[in-house]
Amino acid sequence: MAADGSTVEPIWERYPLIASNSCARRWIQSCVMLGLAKNTIAAYMYAIEGFLRFALSHSVDLRSVSRETIAQYVGELRTQPRRTYANVVRIDSGRFLSNATLQQRLTAVRLLFEFLVDEGLLRTNPVSRGRYTVSSRFGANGTQGLIQKFHKLPWIPTEAQWMALLAVVRNEPMRNRCMLALAYDAALRREELCQLRSSDIDPAHRLLRIRAETTKGHRERVVPYSATSGELLRDYLRHRRSLGGDGPALFLSESPRNYAAPISMWTWSKVVRSIAIRAGVPAFATHTLRHLCLTDLARAGWQLHEIARFAGHQNLETTRQYVHLSGRDLADRFARTMRNIHAWRLDALACVPAPAECQ
């Protein structure tokens, strides 16, 4: 859905198999009409296009897909290399599709078949939840899904990696330094950062209004930013006036092709990727600064509900991972335990010179 509330028509030319399949196309159109985020639609379309390509190569029609077909599809996904490493041949290289990507691809396929069942085109969903492996160890109902989930903590840079990143960032243009500062300071997602407007800034109180239509959960929030970010923002606004952009967007492109146009999420991703490569920290991405900020807040002793409100999380479990990542909960318990053990050991040691007195 566009920022003004209107729907955004998918670019069907990029997904010819979906465009030519009436069932898949109808499902995507229903997702668009329901107002799903543009990135979500794009992820669904990429996943379904891949599944239709698999079905075509196996001469299988959507209405004749069986559980065995889905198992074959999952098997092929597990051996599919990431696009960055298309020439990988070793399965133990760690460069195949991540667990999260596998889950995302399968979720899109499952939702497509749920749509077909609801429409009366199929009797059952071949990608049903947890009907393949029965065991008391898995899930509340004793079943395990097609792909086992691994819950990994977000990646954040070490101090050495952070210093390497800073060395590169110091030489970045004013706009990039300002965007990086706000991304960390206010824990902004890529979409929230790139779609900021000049009217979203309250410089008198150093506050940012994150509009609902730009957020993942469609919930508006107001977050503070520091005096340091305020100085960078002031300098950038002065520079922005020289670009001649008269639109509402805060951050503008300075490339000759899109001069003074609002910066796109893809352009920003390329900027951050370039910084990561030059710093020798390839894992650094647009979302890393958000992860780092929330982890630092947990380290500083913020309560769970405070971090959740700051981040715009609807589910506290999403927030809890940053507390775990900071090690604060374990560190506090460890400190309390060690104090007791420490006191006991000291008492015991004090009794060594005169054991009779300690009886």
- For domain 159-326, which CATH number applies: 1.20.840.10, 3.90.226.10, 1.10.540.10, 1.10.443.10? 1.10.443.10
What CATH superfamily is the domain 12-144? Tyrosine recombinase, N-terminal domain (1.10.150.130)
Q: 3-state secondary structure string, the chain?
A: CCCCCCCCCCCHHHCHHHHHCHHHHHHHHHHHHCCCCHHHHHHHHHHHHHHHHHHHHCCCCHHHCCHHHHHHHHHHHHCCECHHHCCCCCCCCCCECCHHHHHHHHHHHHHHHHHHHHCCCCCCCCCCCCCCEECCCCCCCCEECCCCCCCCCCCCCCHHHHHHHHHHHCCCCHHHHHHHHHHHHCCCCHHHHHCCEHHHEECCCCEEEECHHHCCCCCCEEEECCHHHHHHHHHHHHHHHCCCCCCCECCECCCCCCCCCECCHHHHHHHHHHHHHHHCCCCCCCCHHHHHHHHHHHHCCCCHHHHHHHHCCCCHHHHHHHHHHHCHHHHHHHHHHHHHHHHHHHHHHHCCCCHHHHC
Mean pLDDT of the chain: 83
State the pTM of this model.
0.68
Quick one: pLDDT at residue 162?
Answer: 93
Give whichever of 30-44, 63-77, 83-97, 276-290 has the largest mean pLDDT: 276-290
pLDDT in tens, 214-271: 998 888 999 999 999 999 999 999 999 988 877 899 999 998 888 889 999 999 999 9
Quick one: pLDDT at residue 3?
Answer: 47
Residue type, 263: I
Domain locations along the chain = 12-144, 159-326, 328-358
Quick one: pLDDT at residue 299?
Answer: 86
Higher per-residue pLDDT: 274 or 343: 274
